[in-house]
Amino acid sequence: MTNHYIDFRNADVILNMGGNVAENHPVSFKWIQEAKNRGAIFIHVDPRFTRTSTKADIFARLRSGTDIAFLGGMIKYILDNNLYDEFYVKNYTNASFMVNPKYSFDDGLFSGYDPSKRSYDASTWALEKDENGIPKRDMTLQDERCVFQLLKKHYSRYTLEKVTAITGTPQSDLEKVYAAYAATHAPDKAGTVLYAMGWTQHTVGVQNIRAMSIIQSLLGNMGIAGGGVNALRGESNVQGSTDAALLFHILPGYLPAPREQWQTLEDYHKTTPATKDPRSVNWWKNRPKYLASLLKAFYGDKATKENDFGYSWLPKLDKTQDASWLNLFDEMYKGTFTGFFAWGMNPACSSANAGKVRQALAKLDWMVNVNVFDSETGSFWKGPDTDPKKIKTEVFQLPCAAFMEKEGSISNSGRWMQWRSKCAHPPGDAMPDGEIMYDLFKKVQALYKKEKGSLPDPILNLKWDYETDGKFDVHKVAKEINGYFLEDIPEHPVDKKEYKKGTLVPSFVYLLDDGRTSSGNWIYCASYTEAGNMAVRRKKDDPTGLGLYPQWSWSWPVNRRIIYNRASVDLEGKPRNPNRALLKWDAENKKWVGDIPDGPAPPMGTEGVYPFIMKPDGVASIFGPGLKDGPFPEHYEPLECPIEKNLMSNQRINPVIKIFEGGPDTFATCDPRYPFVCTTYRVTEHWQTGVLTRWLPWLLETEPQMFCEISQELAKLRGIENGEKVFVESPRGKVWAIAIVTPRLKPFVIAGQTVHLVGIPWHFGWLHSKDVGVNANRLTPTVGDPNTMIPESKAFMVNVTKASQEPAKKAGKA
Amino acid sequence: MADKSFFIDTTKCTACRGCQIACKQWNMNPATKTLQRGSHQNPEDLSYATFKLVRFSEFEENGKPVWYFFADQCRHCTTPPCKIVADSLNVKAIMQDEATGAVLYDPKVKVKEKDYKEIRGACPWDIPRWDEKTQGMAKCTMCIDRIKEGLLPACVKTCPTGAMNFGDREKILSMATQRLEQVKKHYPKAQLLNHDFLRTIFLVVDDPKKYHKFASVTPETILASLNEVLTPVG
């Protein structure tokens, strides 16, 4: 999140879309309720009327997979009615920038599309620069080639009529939502948006978020209290896990993972973001310091200037390799690799097209399953329709400690790194994950020492000394993540002060590119310093009154609570909303007061630095040329969709998504065998695949079995009674579920056609307990967003039929 | 320790089931085997093992879905009819804590089934429950062990939104009436349910019957049933 949970209470309007916040982030609803207590308006936009909707002042329904149409309509509404924050748009975004004259958009395609490669050459999407390399601008926003006018042109097509026809949302509801949300363009009004998988799990997932970022930039809601673009993250520490780069494409701190074409450190550094504009801070220019420090944390003394700090020991991806989940399991299915760690996850249930994954697991020679309980993954070899005698995979089950049985930090959606104590011993042989990893790798190193292996250097040279008295020490890891001075530094270039070898680095500002500093993750530098473990702090002081609580734990970066906060002030550094003064410039003492500023530089004025310091151009991107599918979000239908034609253009689906074909990867669109749109979701009472929660009787008691929510209209169509068993089927699989017939789901009218929606939770699995049902992911397709490959679990096509041909007993009302 | 009360503001309830499960956990009540019956309400009803139950009521009105949540529990009546009947039947299972007003069942006291049925029948909110095996009665305890130590009842402690509130009766009544005034601006039909003689006070925005069959009683009904139970039996 750009902001944080408590900050929700500062909003005047809260939009929850692509998410179901009361059900899936129930504790965060405390802050939304506080905002409501202060008169805030809460809007919920969702295909279903959920527990969240009951608390909404405005509820609007939309068809799964049509968020860009909905948001595109909002952009048009904002522009048509001049409901944008003109000062903010002109000064803090790239709305005034001029775009390459070769850029164009026509009938669903941006310039540079190669249909044979299903990809874009994005060179025509470039922003124009003058002879000094400074972006060309039209500050009047009138030039037809400036971003602002191109934005207007692009979204002029998203009329209310078109949007209604695509989304199924009544025009009056669209206008209600648009009017309420656009009111936050006023400098003294803050609008925040809360979203989750309902936006991300689509083949247009990233562009969904982009659309909202554009809206927040137009309304001046980025970088202010009560504003921002706020992802409600899932696992309690998923934020921590992406920060620590548990994804193929990054290194800790969101540095790009090295690729084959960057053989040397110098090659890698050639890709460091650059700018010629002296007013753009372009903080990523410091990347070489962070990579050098990371490599020193990895390889210690073995990393030297001479050997590029061990850069050659880092694995390199192939030139354009995408090793994300869908591709990973596709390779596993093809037998490309033979060993697999399923660490704290349950892919046999959680993966899109779970049936394919179950087959893939059987191709492995070995698998290590680390979890608190056994799962459908660990026990895949004895699953339904599986003959253990035919499975060659050797499975190692390693029980691990649950969250309260170990010490360490968890980084929440708001980037707050909260340290937790150990309050109970893990049972039996269960160990904390960190201990398992640490001991395992020690053994691997010992084997490499003895047997050499094919490339021993990266293994043997890895710094692996995080123990105290022979036991894994999480504090040593936390300190390594923060980083150390590795030599005495008599006069540091930044502040001229002296720093001693072996002391902890105060913040990433002090990291160097010459091997004299280490840091396991530059964004966490300042979390564990000579002053102590900042994540442990629990002080309730709140000097600004905005709920920042700067001494409650620690947030990255450098304890900044709301990022891009320099956009909350005017050019002189005065808060644009004095009632929610996040930051203000104290001219007398030449410093900022309030939240930690995005850099200590003085206010922007006419010669100072721009506020969006992480962007090469220093401003928010309304035009975003860096994504695979276009610089402006455009509505495309999901891969499996209910209508033959995309009403927006002749490009039915996202033109750059990867199509997996053959074997277990089948799709069906506009197929009468699968006439209903299906979406998947969660309930408060279960967690993910239920791998933890199905084993907890109190939770299973509340939601005991797989269900399928269907509208009364669909129930009538299929003769289904509330509480009776049904089958839900897609081209990939078939599951049973208990029907919940409810007025909370309604059919949509899409381009004059009735389109039914059904919904299923993905919390169940065959292993435990008996008769709870199997996982919804048996039905979902292997297709994902082109930028992130997150699977399209929120919109695909199914059929729903009665399980029994006999008329069902009346089971009572929902 | 003063006279206590609950204020349950249904306008803030998101049916997260935190209260339902916190109650189970604190009392170490077992989970029961349930099935999906076409509703998110589970277990189906209060029982010897379920003292706090979030009831879900959904229907359609003017073409729009309506979904009400009612976190049901013992009302801890100021004059509990269950106790009056139990006393009259010489069943010594029920007492009322003088300080807090909590109505407490002793599950170790064996109660004959026919006596239990009469006791349950006296309760307009249908709260008393009984276990066939142990012959004991059980229900919400007002977390008397917690509140005597200055802690909040488990359900109140867990509630994230402020739907569940607990405290000295005066303060709670004042909180409830103030909130009612606020809520009435948007929901003119809002009302507090029988707050005059209950220690568990619900705020609803609609006809109580739309929440739950036994959500509330009219004052006439309670007086009539009280008169009935005060009449000597037999």
pLDDT per residue as tens digits for the range A232-263: 999 999 999 999 999 999 999 999 999 999 99
Q: Is the pLDDT of residue A74 over 60?
A: yes
Dihedral (Cα; A671, A675, A680, A684), 10-degree rounding: -170
- Cβ neighbour number for residue B20 with a 10 Å cutoff: 26
Q: What is the number of CB-based contacts under 8 A between chain A and chain B? A: 117
Nearest to B14 among A26, A740, A812 (CB): A26
Restricting to B residues 24-83, those with a Cβ less than 8 Å away from any Cβ of A are 24-25, 30-40, 42-43, 56, 58-60, 65, 67-69
Q: If you count them, how many residues does chain A have?
A: 814
E-state strands within A51-98: 58-61
Q: What is the mean pLDDT of residues A315-343?
A: 97
Task: State the smallest CA–CA distance between residue A698 and chain B in angstroms.
Answer: 5
From B10, which residue of chain A is nearest by alpha-carbon distance? A55
Phi-psi region of A107 (alpha: psi -120 to 50; beta: other; left: phi over 0): left
CB of A198 closer than 8 Å to CB of A231: no
From the list B105, B109, B167, B114, the residue with the least C-alpha distance to B135 is B109
Structure tokens at A754: 């009735």
Per-residue model confidence (pLDDT) at position A807? 57
Report yes or no: A756 and A677 within 8 Å, Cβ to Cβ: yes
Q: How would residue A806 be classed by pLDDT, with cut points 50, 70 and 90?
A: low
Candidates A59, A702, A728: best to mutate against B (most CBs of B within 10 A) is: A702
The bridge status of strand A113-114 relative to strand A109-110 is: unpaired
- Residues 6 or more apart in contact with residue B45 via CB below 8 angstroms: B53
Chain B residue with minimum CA distance to A706: B36
A679 three-state secondary structure: strand
Inter-chain residue contact A740 with B30, CB threshold 8 Å: no
A259 touches chain B (CB under 8 A): no
Residues of B in contact with A704 (CB under 8 A): 33-36, 42
Give contacts of B175 with chain A, Cβ < 8 Å: none
Contact A701 B34 (CB under 8 A): yes
Determine contact: B178 vs chain A, CB below 8 A: no
Query: Taking the mean position of all CA atoms in its chain, how far away is CA A685?
Result: 22
Residue written as tokens 């530094």? A489
Q: Which residues of A121-150 are buried (b: 16+ CB within 10 A; e: fewer)?
A: ebebbebebeeeeebebbeebebeebbbbb
The first and second tokens of residue A63, run together, are 């068809």
Cα gap A11→B65, rounded to integer Å: 27
Q: Identify the CA nearest to B13 among candidates B74, B62, B56.
A: B56
Q: What pLDDT is recorded for position A359? A: 96
pLDDT at B220: 72
Nearest to A18 by CA among A235, A211, A296: A211
Q: How far is B127 from chain A (nearest CA, A)?
A: 20
Residue A814, pLDDT > 60, answer no
The reply to whether B234 touches chain A by the CB within 8 Å rule is no
Complex-level ipTM: 0.95
The residues, any chain, with a CB within 8 Å of residue B206's CB and separated by 6 or more, are B66, B68, B187, B189
> How would DSSP label each residue in chain B?
---EEEEEEGGG-----HHHHHHHHHHTPPPPP----SSS--SSS-BTTBS-EEEEEEEEETTEEEEEEEEE-----SS-HHHHHHHHTT-TTEEE-TTT--EEE-TTS---HHHHHHHHHH-TT---EE-TTT--EE---TTHHHHTTTPPPHHHHH-SSS-EEEEEHHHHHHHHHHHHHHHHTT-TT-EESSTTT-SEEEEESS-GGGT-TTS---HHHHHHHHHHHHSPP-
Q: Do residues A282 and A273 touch, judged by C-beta distance below 8 A?
A: yes
Per-residue pLDDT for chain B (234 aa), expressed as one digit of tens each?
Answer: 889 999 999 999 999 999 999 999 999 999 999 999 999 999 999 999 999 999 999 999 999 999 999 999 999 999 999 999 999 999 999 999 999 999 999 999 999 999 999 999 999 999 999 999 999 999 999 999 999 999 999 999 999 999 999 999 999 999 999 999 999 999 999 999 999 999 999 999 999 999 999 998 876 776 676 676 666 554
pLDDT at site B230: 65
**Parallel, antiparallel or unpaired: strands B103-105 and B129-130:** unpaired
Yes or no: say if A436 and A408 are a contact pair by the CB < 8 Å rule.
no
Spatial separation of the C-alpha atoms in residues A519 and B101, rounded to whole Å: 60
Task: Write the CB contacts of A807 (distance below 8 Å, at least 6 apart in sequence).
Answer: A719, A721
| A811 pLDDT more than 60 | no
Shortest CA gap A401–chain B (Å): 21
Contact A704 B32 (CB under 8 A): no
